[in-house]
Amino acid sequence: MPALKEAARDAGNPERSEVRRMPALKGKAIVGQSGGPTAVINASMVGVAEEVKKHPEIQALYGTVHGVEGLMKEELIDLSAETAEALQLLKRTPSAALGSCRHKLKAEDYERILKILQAHNIRYFFYIGGNDSADTSRKIELAAKQAGYEMRVVGIPKTVDNDLAFTDHCPGYGSVARFNAIATRDAGRDTEAIGVVDNVKIIETMGRNTGWITASTALAKEAPDDAPHLIYLPERPLVVERFLADVKRVFDRLGYCVITVCEGLKDEKGETLVASQRAVDVDAFGHKQLGGVADFLCDQIATNLRVKARFDKPGTIQRMSMLAVSEVDLAEAYMAGRAAVRHAAEGVTGQMVTLVREPGPAYKCTTGLARLEDVANAEKPVPDEFINEEGNFVTEAYLEYARPLIGGPLPPYGRLTGKRVPERL
């Protein structure tokens, strides 16, 4: 994605010399976590906490409990009181230790938040999250500016969905990708062994609007006939007839088939393939809900191809698994947290830290900056060059993009050489 990378770099390097001239701003800092927890969001928080200690003008670091929801209620904790050992352990603890939220603030909320920040002399605001969080941060910055209150607001990216623009990739993605690659390889080995009876396996991954997570299952494939055999992303409409023909082709050849699908698959009209009709979800009483995408597709396979199909839906397990953490992802999440503080100390505000992939044959990642406003209003789908023509797999270009992010090869598995014994009967 050279275009995106350029953008990230342009946004990322406002003339450093200029921001360096900003005078040191004395006051406290606050950090919050927002959106779906991940394996590495705590690493970003620890990065903030450790970097803050290197900047004497930042007098203390507070944490806001459950993001802006706690901030509204002035539920703050003193992160400066945490020991270095506690922080080290938290760095490798999944979930959001501060508590998270998915709270959309109302216009009047910003006024109250600003009052609370002012009351505690908070001059540095760090918010770890996705584009909704970027939007919240941007509006908090705006409120401060309008009130003439000097405060530096820097966002830290976090989303397993990997759908933020202006950054090469997002902290959280490498680990969810590693988990799903391993889970798909395991499901593949399983189906290979027992596919004689359990013929088709579907793995439903997260990813409401974009297929980045589903795409990562391709990293399971070590040999041409390995799982996954088919991958479906929401960037392409799912046509059931074509899907069934794809499955039949693989099944007829191998005797089994492993498919990975995104929970957010869309049909030809762009509608979610299987919309929840649950009372609480649609805010109206109703009908028995239909189950998920994988369930629906298993049913299609069973009914139309008359072969057994089962699904795995790792759900939140995939984004929380510290067992499958990508060490690259963990290190970058931590780096992003530290970079946010460093930039803010230098005078940066209204920006989100980005991850920048350096050119060259070896993978190297540094940080840049992008405007919170730009990040808030963009969503990055899996680009065309990462999806094959048939819309049922990813391309080599995607694999090249994703491979370094999962932190090294998958743990090695063996195979029998399987020297055949000559028949005697």
289-318 residues near a second copy, rule: CB under 8 A: 289-292, 295, 298-299, 302-303, 306-308, 310-317
Site for a second copy in 343-372 (CB under 8 A): none
Among residues 12 and 129, whose Cβ is nearest to a second copy? 129
Q: Decide: is 223 part of the binding site for a second copy (CB under 8 A).
A: no
Q: Which of 212, 213, 160, 182 is nearest to 329 (CA)?
A: 160
Give me 58's structure tokens. 């930042």
Site for a second copy in 38-97 (CB under 8 A): 42, 62-63, 65-66, 69, 74-79, 81-82, 86, 89-90, 92-97
Q: What is the CA radius of gyration of the chain?
A: 23
Write the DSSP string, 180-195. Answer: HHHHHHHHHHHHHHHT
Q: Which stretch, 99-107, 332-340, 366-374, 389-397, contacts a second copy (CB under 8 A)? A: 99-107
Per CB under 8 A, the list member of 19, 22, 115, 254 interacting with a second copy is 115
Q: Decide: is 148 part of the binding site for a second copy (CB under 8 A).
A: no
Q: Decide: is 187 part of the binding site for a second copy (CB under 8 A).
A: yes
Among residues 157 and 292, whose Cβ is nearest to a second copy? 292
> Distances from the Cα of 152 to the Cαs of 27, 42, 260, in angstroms?
11, 21, 42
109, 161, 246, 329: which is the annotated catalytic residue? 161
Q: Are strands 200-205 and 152-157 parallel, antiparallel or unpaired?
A: unpaired
CA atoms of 152 and 133, how far apart (whole Å): 15
Q: Decide: is 278 part of the binding site for a second copy (CB under 8 A).
A: yes
Site for a second copy in 23-42 (CB under 8 A): 33, 35-37, 42
Among residues 31 and 382, whose Cβ is nearest to a second copy? 31
The residue with tokens 């999250």 is: 129
Q: Least CB distance from residue 311 to a second copy, whole Å?
A: 7
Instruction: Establish whether 161 is a catalytic residue.
Output: yes
Among residues 3 and 197, whose Cβ is nearest to a second copy? 197
Q: Least CB distance from residue 316 to a second copy, whole Å?
A: 5
Query: Residue 311 corresponds to which amino acid?
Result: F
CA atoms of 233 and 312, how far apart (whole Å): 17
Among residues 36 and 157, whose Cβ is nearest to a second copy? 36
Give backbone dihedrals phi and psi of 122, rounded to 5 degrees, phi first.
-85, 120
Among residues 295 and 346, whose Cβ is nearest to a second copy? 295
| Exposure class string for 14-41: b at 16+ Cβ within 10 A, else e | beeeebeeeeebebbbbbbbbbbbbbbb
Question: How far is C-alpha 264 from the geometric centre of its chain's CA atoms?
Answer: 15
Query: How long a stretch of residues is the chain?
Result: 425
Q: Least CB distance from residue 8 to a second copy, whole Å?
A: 28
Question: How far is C-alpha 317 from the geometric centre of its chain's CA atoms?
Answer: 13
157-186 footprint of a second copy as x/- string (CB under 8 A) = -------------------------xx--x
> Distances from the Cα of 40 to the Cαs of 169, 330, 413, in angstroms?
14, 6, 26
Q: Which stretch, 14-22, 152-160, 273-281, 343-351, contacts a second copy (CB under 8 A)? A: 273-281
Q: Decide: is 221 part of the binding site for a second copy (CB under 8 A).
A: no
223: left (phi over 0), alpha (psi -120 to 50) or beta: beta
Give the catalytic positions in this structure. 161
